[in-house]
Amino acid sequence: MQLRINLGDVSLLALLDSGSTHNFAAAEAAARTSLRLQLHGGMRVTVANGDKVPCPGVYRAATFSIEGASFSADFFALPLAGYDVVLGTQWLATLGPILWDFGALSMTVQHQGRQGRIQNGAAPRAELLIHVQNSLILLPRPPFV
């Protein structure tokens, strides 16, 4: 599922990805914001095809908003195709129980004691599926059991 998030006054395209263990941000997108990269030399991320991709560092405690609700998360710097950021299980786990509705491309969550609904945004369903499939080669995915 994809949606728009706001990082400061910059709107970014995010992929919600329960198959990614962490959150990621493209350096090009982060450069448009006030995020500061904390360098970590030699760090690498294993991607779905088994390759290890260099990860220059992490953007710590980045504050962002979705439909007016504020959040904070760490984002690892990584090249991303088609998206500015990926919100993985590192962030999704902070929401508690999630009710996914894949027919409506939405999810219902609890945040700060209130129930909220996040709706897919920015693309028709066919385009979303193409982007998700193309992103599989870039994002960490656990093996199917």
Q: Is the pLDDT of residue 111 over 70?
A: yes
* Beta carbons of 73 and 85 less than 8 angstroms apart: no
pLDDT-based confidence at residue 108 (cuts at 50, 70, 90): confident
What's this model's pTM, rounded to 2 decimal places? 0.78
Cβ–Cβ under 8 Å, residues 108 and 116: yes
pLDDT above 90 coverage of the chain, percent: 38
Query: Where do the structural domains in the chain lie, given as residue ranges?
Result: 2-135
- Rounded to whole angstroms, the Cα distance separating 9 from 64 reads 10
pLDDT in the model for residue 124: 38
Q: Give the tens place of pLDDT for each residue, 56-95.
A: 999 999 999 988 889 999 999 998 888 999 999 999 999 8
Fold entry, domain 2-135? Cathepsin D, subunit A; domain 1 (2.40.70)
The candidate with the shortest Cα–Cα distance to 135, out of 15, 7, 4, is 15
